[in-house]
Structure formats: C-alpha cells, structure tokens
A and B are shown apart, each in its own frame.
Chain A
Amino acid sequence: MPIATHATSIPVVVDEDKCIADKGCRVCIDVCPLDVLWINEATGKAHMRYDECWYCMPCEVDCPTKAVKVNIPYLLR
C-alpha cells in the first residue's frame, strides 16, 4: 500500500535565534514525554518533528533561553 505525506500545522515553535542547540543544549528534546522534538538537520537547532503533542509544556518551561513556545494544537483551539 503506497503512502502519501500529509502537511500538518504543528503546535510547538522554536525561536532559532534564541536556541543554543549548536552549543550542545538538548534540554527540550530530553524532557519531552512524547519524544517529538529533535534536532533539525538543516539548521542544527531544535524543532518539532512529529505532530504528537500533549501541550504539557516541560519543553517551554525547562528551556534555558526561553526559545520554545507551546501553542494549543489547531484541532483543539
């Protein structure tokens, strides 16, 4: 069964200017209970890779540079 790739709007946004993943920070990636934050290979910064979010907020609260913003997923808004 062949598959398609869907577009989906994701709730968690990382401010790349503030993110210090290039200095080795992995805090948000470590704490996310759903393992949906990863390093973006293209930019070296953290980003949301999978649209599977509990809007629980450890990523935002624990980020040392306040680079993460958790929005309510579109389907719930």
Chain B
Amino acid sequence: MNIPSDIPVTDVDVLVIGGGTAGPMASVTVKEKNPQLSVMLLEKANVKRSGAISMGMDGLNNAVIPGHATPEQYVKEITVANDGVVQQKSVMAYAERSFEMIEQLDNWGVHFQKDETGDYDVKKVHHMGTYVLPMPEGHNVKKILYRRQRKHRVIVENRYQATRILKDKQGRASGCIALSTRTAEVIVIRAKAVILCTGAAGRIGLPASGYLFGTYENPANCGDGHAMAYHAGAELSNLECFQINPLLKDYNGPACAYVTGPLGGFTANAHGQRFIECDYWSGQMMLEFFRELESGSGPVFLKLDHLAEETIQEIEHVLHSNERPSRGRFHDVRGNDYRHKMVEMHISEIGFCSGHSASGVYINEKGETTVPGLYGAGDMASVPHNYMLGAFVYGKICGENAAEFAAARNDIPELDGAFIEQERQRLLAPLQREDGIPPNQMEYKIRRIVNDYLQPPKVTRKMEIALQRFREIRQDLPYLYARDPHELFRAVETQHILDCAEMAAVASLYRTESRWGLYHYRVDFPERNDQDWFCHVQLHKTSDGAMTCYKRPIEPYIVALDDKEKQAYNQLRVKKAVNA
C-alpha cells in the first residue's frame, strides 16, 4: 500500500531525532562531513532549550585530558565502576576523542575552568583518576550549539514527537513517523539513515514527591527512543542496571557532589559524619548511600556548613545559576542555608540512562545499533557513564558514520504505507473517544507500580507481580482518552513509559544475581556470580512480538586490569567513621 495521500512526507538524507545534546552535535557533524547531504533535527520541544542541558551545565564529569588522565586509565576506571561488564572498545572510542571534543567546544566558545597557567583545572572526584572539569560559565551551551546548527543549515523541526522508526523491505532504518505536539498532525520523514538522540528514560519511576514531572531527568525524556528502538527490532542492553542517583530530597536535582566535593563539601549521615570514601556516582556508592539512608544514622545529607563564607558563595554561584538554577529558590522556601545546616538528600526514582549508569539501546564503537542505518548517541545508547561529553563525542561518531551510510545509499527508501496508516490510527485513537482514562492517571499508576515492585532492592516475586500488573494495564490501552493534542502526546508517552517499565522488569528478572551495587541488588540472589553472569543482558522483540532476553558475551578487554584494581569500587565505605 502507498503512503496515505493526506500524510505529508518530507525527504532528507539523515534524520536526527532529539535536539538536546548529542542530537545537535550529530546534525552539525553530518553537514561538516558532507555538506551535500540534507539533515533534519526533529525535536519534541524546541532545540533552543531542550534536553538535559536546557539551562547549561556545571561541569564535565568525564574529561580525559592529557597530563591529567590517559584514555587507558579512563577505560580502567569505567570498567571497574561497572563491575567489569563493559565493551571496552566503545568506552575507548569515547576516551580517545574526549580531549579533541573539549577543544572543539572551547573553540566554539564554551568556557571551561582553567588555572593560573592556562591549563584545564581538572578536579578529582572519581575513585581512581582525575576527570572533572568545572564550567562555571556553562549556562550558554545551548546557544552555542544553536548557532552552529544555523550556520550549517540544519533543518530544524520543533514540537514534533517521533513515535515509530520506519524501515524498508531490507530492514534498514528509513525515517520515522512523528506527531505534532500542538495540532496532532501526523507526518512522515523519509531518510537514508536515522540517529536516535532522545535522552534517558526518566519517567519510569515516580519521584518521592509524587509529582509526575519532578524527575531527575528532563521529563521530556520519557523513553520514547528506547520504545522506538525496541519496536524497530533493535537490541537494548544492560537495562537491569538502573540509573539511581543521590539527589536533594524532593527537589530531586543534583546536590551536587562534583561541584561541592572539590571545594570540601561531602555526603554525610545524620551525625554529620562521612560514610563513603568517594562521591562519584556508581552503583556501589549508591548501595552504601541506601544502607545509610535505611540505618539508624540516616537520613543522608549534603554537608557544607563547615566551609568558609567565600567557598559557600562560590558554590551558590554555580549551583543556583547553571544547570538547575531553581535550586536556590527551593532552599529559600525550605529555609535551607548551606552555612547553617546540612541539606537532606535522598535517592532518585529509577530510570534507564547510559549517561549515568549503563542501560540503553545497544550500540557499538561506531554508534551503530543492531538495525542497519539506525544509530544511537547520548543517554539513550548503551556506552556507560558517558555524561555530557560522551553525548557530544558519540553524537559526532554517529554523525560521521550515518553520513557515510546515507551517502552510500542511492535509492529512495520504500516505505510500508499500511504500517503508516495503522500507526496513525493507533496514535490518534485517544482523541477520538468520548471519555476513558486520562494519560496522567495511567502514567501515575504505571510509575507507582514501578516504585512498589521494581525499585531496588529487587525481589523476584515482586517483579513478577509488576509484570502481571503492567500486562493488565496494557489491556486498558484501548480506553486511553485525550481531550486535546497536548494530552494526546502525553498519551503516546504513557505507552512508551509502559514499554520501558515492562522492559525494566523483564531484564531484571533475567539476571539472577546481584551486580552494580544498588542498581541491580536482588535480595534473593544477593551474590555476584561471574561464572554465569559476566555478560551483557540483551533485550529485544522477537518476530512474533515477544519480549525476550539473551546473554551477549563481553568482548575481550583491550586494557587489562589487575586484581587490586578490580576491587577498587568494592571498598567505598569509610573504614571507621571520621568526624568531619
């Protein structure tokens, strides 16, 4: 069947979905590499202020800068922080290009902190090496990216939410279907290569406040990319390695140890005592955090009240103007003052995010997913602990490779009109009903069940109940009801959140051991079992529509580790509590 004539079709060579961090870099790279190619950057919000770095960033969490760290050291650090389950080649591909990207950004006008000698002022936050580079003027990153997109004449399509990847008969990614978030118009973008840059899946769990949009992640990042990749038949990896972060309680934003740590701040228990050696966000650190939180010495606090006035002012300047600037406003209403009292911390809701943990759509060191022509970069792809700089580097890697893939394809992709029509009907159905279940109610229910049954510590029977409940909710999908296009796009998001919740349960049930500290702490399989589980868990949709997992072996290491190094992240609790 042909594409229905009332659905507009736009042709481009490369389609980039998600205009936050990785997406803008990918789109600009395609043009730099091959100016003949046309590139579209499709964004459900507006590229001017979208994504995790909407208001800029406090610093680079993983800068590999000559003289401070080597790519080999970095690969070791990330291997150990991930309990050995990494594809070192893809971590190395990042590490080797990390410095080049810092210089490119510096060249574009992004300012990083330098010392008196003009050298980058890198700080130690990780357990072993030195990788944190502050950017106190980091509020203008989005503006700088925007200028580059304009310069290279990237076609920008704002306020369209991609909903499904389209494939041609040979199974190559060939564009997407998208829905206008303001008018509910359904459109098709036909492309010769597609790069997914849709960020983390940050709306799977419910924040402690109960506010659906009070998430750690930018809530626009709700797992659309994970669901789209899944339905396109791509593999997802390490999904059971949840993202869980230590945050300011209720505010649910970073505290932030990377800013305050180098200046003398630290994470403390109720007695003001340090209980972890290292504030770098890892599963092992989160497990100690969780234990303290649940103990008689809990809850956990950010301690700054011992610092000098100038230091506190410096911290406030960074924390209250960049990244999450409403932090100061939150403290005002609560009567929090870093000078006089410790500020309560808590753990975040769960999510999928390779930027901070390792969960995401599987990619190799070229940014390729398992679907030909489909690439992935940033928080939604599987390269662990990648953070902002990793999103930029993989955006660039994907841009280069997708440009090549698209240029080598000299057909006009043939699309399946019947699939497009069926998808349009699925998308618009909630708008055509007279009444039913509003998306926010269904979303709340899914996310509440995630908290009740999937938030670690994980328990087999609880996760089975979760799966059963998710499958019951699936039966309710024909009742989803939207009163306007805005609610309709939330209804589409809700369906993707349900997909992600189900994936979180299935992947977690599959791995019958504990690993990555709190991220996959299974009470009924409390030990790490390298014999059976030193591997990636891959999740995908089989041709008959079933959600299944299999084990992907770990590729031979390219950087060897000795036994002492392997243990480094297992000793994060301070030996004897020291008074601050």
Contacts and interface: CB of A to CB of B under 8 A. Distances in A.
Interface of A: 1-3, 30-35, 49-50, 52-58, 61-62, 70-73, 75-77
B182 A75 contact: no
Main SS of the interface on chain B?
loop
A33 B213 contact: no
A77 B211 contact: no
A9 to B, nearest CB: 12
Given A33-B49, A76-B209, A52 B219 contact: yes
B275 to A, nearest CB: 26
Interface in B128-185: 159, 181-182
Nearest to A75: B211
A2 to B, nearest CB: 5
B340 interface: no
A33 B45 contact: yes
A44 B213 CA distance: 27
B220 interface: yes
Nearest to A27: B48
Given A2-B435, A50-B486, A72-B330, A33 B54 contact: yes
B73 interface: no
Contact of B218 (A49, A56, A61): A56
Given A33-B54, A33-B218, A75-B210, A55 B48 contact: no
Given A72-B251, A72-B333, A62 B49 contact: yes
A72 B219 contact: no
Interface in B234-266: 250-252
A53 B159 CA distance: 17
Nearest to B48: A31
A57 B325 contact: yes
Nearest to A56: B54
Contact of A58 (B54, B436, B490): B54
B329 A72 contact: yes
Nearest to B210: A75
A34 B436 contact: no
A51 B247 CA distance: 23
A76 B214 contact: yes
